[in-house]
Amino acid sequence: MTPVIAFGEALIDMLSSRLGDNTGPETFTPYAGGAPANVAVACARLNVPSQFLGMVGDDTFGHFLIRELKSHGVDTQGVVLTKEARTALAFVSRDSSGERTFDFYRPPAADLLYRLEHLPHGVFEQPAIVHLCSNSLTDPEIAETTLAIAAMAKRAGCLVSVDANLRHNLWAEGAADTWLVTELIDSAELVKVSLEELDYLRGDHPKEAWLAERMAAGVKVIVITDGPNNVVLKGIGIDQTVTPPSVT
């Protein structure tokens, strides 16, 4: 079975006790989080061999994240501990419909300090699916590392997967760099993007033209989600709408 290698941020989601109710005391409970780390865990739960590459602080939360990844069967040999920065935190609040808002304590954060020299030796020697997202583009040095990893994986014959996963408040300007995110997307063969993210990234560009440009750059399949609504699959010779299963 082809393994999945996820690269990027592992962080602590501090989840609020409130659900759309701003009265009374509020508490926050720590949970393991970070989009790429979540992908590694999900794959391991499906009995797909998975590995996580990233950096966490040599602190209480960093060790907690490593334990959580291991407990789900994720290979953590590529996780690096550092004393130069703390593990990132995200305080997560929810409204009455369950919609989340995030307040990030990043930067500085340990995951932003990962560099090519931290890659395990021979990590891309065997065929793999290498998964990344845009949250490791928010600072120049980690962006350079992320794009280099995508290029290395592709040259080695791996399938590169990218989840846009835009979190605008992680960017210094308060909005994601569309050029940089699109550059990462164009390095992939499989892309996941929400309809809202697609509209942001394309700007004034017509949607179908923007999608065609991604295909021309080498993307094979684009998965477009829209909350609880239908999922759209786009690709060369692919134009399919899938109805998500109902949740009861």
104 phi-psi bin (left φ>0, alpha ψ -120 to 50, beta other): beta
What confidence score (pLDDT) does residue 95 get?
74
pLDDT band at residue 248 under the 50/70/90 scheme = low
What confidence score (pLDDT) does residue 237 get?
87
Q: Is residue 147 part of a domain?
A: yes
- CA distance readout (Å), 164 to 64, 131, 156, 182, 232: 26, 11, 23, 9, 15
Of all residues in the chain, what percent carry a pLDDT higher than 90? 86
What pLDDT, in 10s, does the model give residues 9-20?
999 999 998 876
Question: Nearest-CA neighbor of 65 among 40, 42, 32, 29?
Answer: 32
Give the span between the Cα atoms of 174 and 218, in whole angstroms: 29
Q: Is residue 175 part of a domain?
A: yes
What confidence score (pLDDT) does residue 18 get?
80
- pTM here is 0.93
- Helical spans, DSSP H, in 72-194: 140-155, 178-185
Q: Is residue 120 part of a domain?
A: yes
What confidence score (pLDDT) does residue 230 get?
96
Domain membership of residue 173 as a residue range: 4-9+35-87+107-188
Q: Is residue 69 part of a domain?
A: yes
Q: Is residue 67 part of a domain?
A: yes
What confidence score (pLDDT) does residue 31 get?
97
Q: Is residue 20 part of a domain?
A: no
Of all residues in the chain, what percent carry a pLDDT higher than 70? 96
Tell me the DSSP string of 43-69.
HHHTT--EEEEEEEESSHHHHHHHHHH
What is the domain-level CATH number for residue 113?
A: 3.40.1190.20
What pLDDT, in 10s, does the model give residues 24-33?
788 999 999 9
What pLDDT, in 10s, does the model give residues 78-111?
999 999 999 999 998 877 666 778 889 999 999 9
The region of weakest confidence among 23-32, 92-101, 192-201, 211-220 is 92-101
Q: Is residue 195 part of a domain?
A: no
Q: Are 189 and 160 in contact (CB under 8 A)?
A: yes
Q: Is residue 21 part of a domain?
A: no
Q: Which two tokens stand for residue 239?
A: 């134009």
Number of domains in the chain: 1
What confidence score (pLDDT) does residue 214 get?
97
Q: What is the mean pLDDT of the chain?
A: 94
What pLDDT, in 10s, does the model give residues 21-67?
666 788 999 999 999 999 999 999 999 999 999 999 999 999 999 99
